[in-house]
Chain A
Amino acid sequence: MTAGAKAFSQLRLQGVSRRFGGHDALRDLDLTIEAGEFVALLGPSGCGKSTALNCLAGLLPLTAGSIWQDERRIDTLPPERRGFGMVFQNYALFPHMSVRANIAFGLRMRRLPKDEIRRRTDEAVRLVRLEDHAGKLPGQLSGGQQQRVAIARAVVLEPSLVLMDEPLSNLDAKLRLEMRTEIRRLHQSLGLTTVYVTHDQEEALSLADRLVVLREGRVQQIGAPEELHTRPANWHVADFMGYRNLWTMRVREAADGTVAVERDGLRLVGVPVGPVAPGDEVIVAVRPEDVRVDQGDATTNAVPAEIEVVEYQGRELAAEAVTAAGSRVHLRTDRRVAPGDPVTLSIDPQRLLVFPGDAAATRPADKAAAVVEEPGLVG
């Protein structure tokens, strides 16, 4: 099977919006997808990921905006004329057709010659390693096998774009990891262009070339995995990207490049992300793996605390500590700490991100927009 990616060089979404009643499920999505890219739409449940994907597939009409495939406007085309492949969350395999017939369905719709249909179906069956199950009905397959049929059915047409809506969410943890690799492998070997929807940040980070983080129907940040991982654009993205420690604090001093924050006698120094001024209420975000259990050599950001809960996680321990003022700190360490141990925690100021606070929480829309517009944060 050869690449279908040559069908276009760029897919542009301009101000794509979808309302349900008075509710904005998706608002002003601007996104340019290059041929061959793997883009993940990431966000919590209900943030509009499926809405965005369905708009792209043509299964939902837009309420505003447009979609362009190079210079051709496609948002008014019905789904059957867009030529995109789609993998649904519940697979949506045709229950009355065999695996082979499911995979051949799209080829039959194209009225291809019989022997070409047979050849390409065989090839796709082999590609997803279902040779032994080709004659079965979907109901006789396991979840992972059904998933592979769904993927084969979508890619056998060599679509210019493959859309996947949480394709792994119904699988168990081990299978999920295997299929993840499988999907990435297919994407590369077939030269596909893929838009992948998920609520799992780990999945998105590991699969995608570029991530689009959505919240309440709005884009929060677009960027490479690395970028989102180290420089979330606002505290909501940080929250979603695994910054489990989020503390509300107040700014004492803000010089360029560093900001000093304080609460209940605890003083910390970090890096501002977005505009902060002395006196502002801010959200301080730190990843558990960036909190170190100190050997007594820390000069800045040393926090005395007591270990409260310890979870065994293989080589490392995940622990929860409580500071003197009662703040909870999530941390990961390879030191054998035990509940009740007094420890001194320390955080590298470069890894302590200070986000504009409350205003963002109470007026998420405005704040998010303001942050997104900042240069350098949008990929």
Chain B
Amino acid sequence: MSVTTPTPAVESAGPPAPARAHWQHRLAERGVDRHLWLLTPALLFVVLLFLYPFFYGLGLSFQPTEGGPFSDYARFFGDAYQRDTIWTTLGLALPAALLNVVASVPIAYRMRGRFRGKRLVTILLVVPITLGTVLTAQGLLNFLGPTGWFNRVLTALHLTDEPIRLVHNYWGVFFSLVITGFPFAFLLVLSYLSGIDPTLERAAATLGAGWWQRFRMITLPLLMPGLATTFCLTFVLAFSVFPSAVLVGNPAGETRVISIAAYQAAYEQYDYPYASAIAMIMGLIELVVIAVVLFARTRFYTGSTGGKG
């Protein structure tokens, strides 16, 4: 410090009063950073695009065209045809999400190291993300349809007498959900796996663990929290299935999912409060499933796994 710096009056004023910390420091102590205002645009965005429509819909769902505030909810649960859409949707989304996660694990596990051609394989596995639901549906119709390659091969090999029905029913939607959901699950699992220090498995090997024991006792437990998160994300994606349920499913019957019910209420009966109530129910079910999975997740070790991230 230079000698010529003018001494602030406060310092020369006798015995120092316990200095009041600068307001920024006091805020920082409570975890508030003054640069937080930079988050404003993002907050505004969230409020306008997410919170506002949500609360608008929530409000709307309690203002049915007739009856008390909960009558639209009562109507949904009272009508078996509507109520069953919940089970139909869960019956599609839960197995599809589970399969996506379970299938990703061995593939990502095999691919966790570095090897020649890894990039190419990854691209091939991830391409379906870019296709979109409609193109996937188109492909499924051509491939799995009654006159598609799959059935033609089966008939040519005399494995079946008549084509197996794989589209316009449960399986069509299920395949579509797997094709579009798998890349997400795979990429997530791959990145969770690369976050686990590979030396841990090597250490287990020197202690006498074979590959299955290494996987089951070291890698899998450390991966479980990541798998739970991945499951939640692919489940949410699958739960709001709409286009494929219509295009490759049987939207009037076995694949009448909950989003179709909401769509029909809104755009065929023009009953917006009822549609809002269905949308709220949809959200609630998703929340319940996620809460259950995340609760189960807390039972695993979720700390550092020493990898590169």
Contact = CB atoms under 8 A, between A and B. Distances in A.
A88 B208 contact: no
A92 B209 contact: no
Contacts of B306: 90, 92, 95
Interface string A65-86: 0000000000000111011111
A92 B209 CA distance: 15
Nearest to A165: B199
Given A59-B202, A79-B202, A96 B207 contact: no
A105 interface: yes
A177 to B, nearest CB: 26
A277 interface: no
Contacts of A59: 202, 205-206
Nearest to B213: A109
B207 A153 contact: yes
A78 B199 CA distance: 15
A57 interface: yes
Contact-residue bracket for chain B:
20 to 34
B304 interface: yes
Given A90-B199, A96-B222, A109 B206 contact: no
A135 interface: no
A106 interface: yes
A105 B213 CA distance: 11
A79 B304 contact: no
Contact of B207 (A90, A109, A139): A109
B232 to A, nearest CB: 21
B205 A137 contact: no
Nearest to A84: B206
A318 B232 CA distance: 64
A221 B258 CA distance: 76
A80 B208 contact: yes
A88 B199 contact: yes
B253 interface: no
Given A90-B197, A90-B199, A95 B304 contact: yes
B203 interface: yes
Contacts of A154: 206-207
Nearest to B222: A96
A94 B306 CA distance: 10
Contacts of B199: 88, 90, 92
A92 B303 contact: no
B200 interface: yes
A109 B301 contact: no
Nearest to A86: B206
Contacts of B221: 96
A154 B204 CA distance: 10
A80 B205 contact: yes
A57 B206 contact: yes
Contacts of B289: none
A94 B197 CA distance: 10
B169 to A, nearest CB: 43
Contact of A78 (B203, B205, B207, B304): B205
Interface string B208-223: 1110010001100110
A13 B146 CA distance: 65
B225 to A, nearest CB: 10
Contacts of B210: 80
B300 interface: yes
A315 interface: no
Contact of A139 (B204, B209, B303): B303
A80 B197 CA distance: 18
Contacts of B205: 58-59, 78-80
Contact of B204 (A58, A83, A105): A105
A305 to B, nearest CB: 41
Contacts of A92: 197, 199-200, 202-203, 306
B229 interface: no
18 contacts: A58-B205, A59-B202, A88-B202, A90-B197, A92-B197, A92-B202, A94-B204, A95-B305, A96-B222, A105-B209, A105-B217, A109-B207, A137-B303, A153-B203, A154-B207, A157-B207, A157-B208, A163-B206
Given A59-B206, A79-B206, 7 more contacts: A80-B205, A88-B203, A92-B203, A95-B304, A105-B207, A154-B207, A157-B208
